[in-house]
Amino acid sequence: ELKVEQNPLFLSMQEGKNYTIYCNYSTTSDRLYWYRQDPGKSLESLFVLLSNGAVKQEGRLMASLDTKARLSTLHITAAVHDLSATYFCAVDPGTASKLTFGTGTRLQVTL
Partner 1 sequence: NAGVMQNPRHLVRRRGQEARLRCSPMKGHSHVYWYRQLPEEGLKFMVYLQKENIIDESGMPKERFSAEFPKEGPSILRIQQVVRGDSAAYFCASSPRVQETQYFGPGTRLLVL
Q: Give contact residues for partner 1 (rule: CB under 8 A).
A: 31, 33, 35, 41-45, 48, 88, 90, 92, 94, 96-104
Closer to partner 1 by Cβ: residue 81 or 98: 98
In the chain, what are the helix, strand and coil shares in percent, each to the nearest 5? 5, 55, 45
Whole-number minimum distance, CB 105 to partner 1, in Å? 10
Whole-number minimum distance, CB 21 to partner 1, in Å? 13
The CA distance from 45 to 33, in Å, is: 8
Closer to partner 1 by Cβ: residue 44 or 66: 44
Q: Strand, coil or helix: what is 83?
A: helix
Closer to partner 1 by Cβ: residue 22 or 101: 101
Q: Which neighbouring-strand residues pair with 64?
A: 55, 73
The separation between CA 7 and the C-alpha centre of its own chain, rounded to angstroms, equals 10
Whole-number minimum distance, CB 78 to partner 1, in Å? 27
